[in-house]
Amino acid sequence: MEDCIFCRIVRGEIPSDKVYEDDRVLAFRDIEPQAPIHVLLVPKTHYASIMDIDSDTFGYMQTITRKLASELGIAEKGFRVVINTGEDGQQSVKHLHFHILGGRSMQWPPG
């Protein structure tokens, strides 16, 4: 059993503000939101990063991202999906997650 903060959220050991859950993934609101909508989507199985996950699970996360964007009301105006990876990518939690950000106009380039 992984002693990882997102694994613990998946197991319900740490409470989270859930927006979607099924047998493969969990989506919950980021504790430090960077936009009016800031949801984290995680696979229930622990994968450290995009370098480790299989394409089927990754593809499923894309399907759920599309569904969540519609349900959260950000599909029409647009949104951003961020996957921070590794040290230079500023990944702080080593359990793959999509940041789904929306509800405001985003900046580019990222800092």
- By CB under 6 A, tell whether 13 contacts ligand 5GP: no
CA distance 107 to 93: 23
Locate tokens 């647009």: which residue? 78
Note if 95 is an active site residue: no
Q: What is the 3-state secondary structure (H, E, C) of 32-93?
A: CCCCCEEEEEEECCCCCCCCCCCHHHHHHHHHHHHHHHHHCCCCCCCEEEECCCCCCCCCCC
4 binds ligand 5GP (CB under 6 A): no
Least CB distance to ligand 5GP at residue 4 (A) = 11
Among 19, 50, 75, 93, binds ligand 5GP (CB under 6 A): 93
Q: Which does 31 bind (CB under 5 to 8 A by kind): ligand 5GP, Zn ion, none?
A: ligand 5GP
Query: Active-site residue among 38, 46, 95, 97?
Result: 97
Compute the distance between CA of residue 13 and CA of residue 34 in angstroms, rounded to an integer: 25
Which residues form the catalytic set?
97
Give the binding site for Zn ion (CB under 5 A).
2, 4, 6-7, 46, 95
